[in-house]
Homo-oligomer: A and B are copies of this chain.
Amino acid sequence: MPKISEEKRQARRDQILAASWRCFSRRGIRLTSMDDIVRESKLSFGAVYLYYESKDELIQAAILAASQVLQSFVVPILTREPAFPPAIFIREMAKGLTAFANRDALNFGVSFVMAWGEAQFTPEIKAMSSAGQTKYLELLTAIVRKWQKTGEISSKGKPGVTAKALFSLILGFIVQSAILGDISPDAYAKGFEGLFLAPLQPQNSTKRKSAK
């Protein structure tokens, strides 16, 4: 019964997905041809189509796989008990994202931007992205609650709303890494503190300009 074993089957799928990401990170999703993927995977056209029905399905699977790998990098940080203090959290997340982005010696930072781009015009990917973001937002909301409880941040804001600002700090790191590149997790955490550390003086007016 030469029906291939489930592990082997999965290995093939992974092989194809890995090849796909190598191609995608080289030339982008839409500019990668199936021919590229076939060559890169060292398989044949037929074999690739045996595992994925179409290029679109393959793209979806590749994005899904990447988002799962991302989770493995990032969820432990998001669910740590006790929660990291704010600045440390930012730094750890930035580190986690950087580690994810550089795995396999590829430029995976690109993968976020590519996935968002695909999401715009592929409902399935949009749904996947939305679901992912919603989930991360929930985890962030939980963290905000904890910080409010411990008094690490002001307890004034609604957690769900504050979480969006926090989420932005993560998304913004991704974008800046992808486009500018020159950003280190440590410096980024410092930047966070610089912006959100409570000022020492009362800041009622804007008339303090003359001081310079």
Contact = CB atoms under 8 A, between A and B. Distances in A.
Interface of A: 27-28, 30-31, 82-83, 85-87, 107, 109-110, 113-114, 116-117, 119-121, 126, 129-130, 133-134, 137, 144, 146, 149-159, 161-173, 175-176, 178-180, 183, 187-188, 190-209, 211-212
A122 to B, nearest CB: 9
A114 B115 CA distance: 11
Q: Is the interface of A mostly helix, strand, loop or mixed?
A: helix
Number of copies: 4
Given A82-B206, A171-B171, 4 more contacts: A154-B194, A165-B192, A165-B196, A168-B173
A88 B178 CA distance: 28
B208 A150 contact: yes
Contact of A176 (B159, B164, B194, B211): B164
Contacts of A116: 113, 116-117, 175, 178-179
Nearest to A157: B194
10 contacts: A28-B120, A28-B121, A116-B178, A137-B180, A149-B209, A152-B198, A164-B187, A165-B192, A196-B197, A197-B197
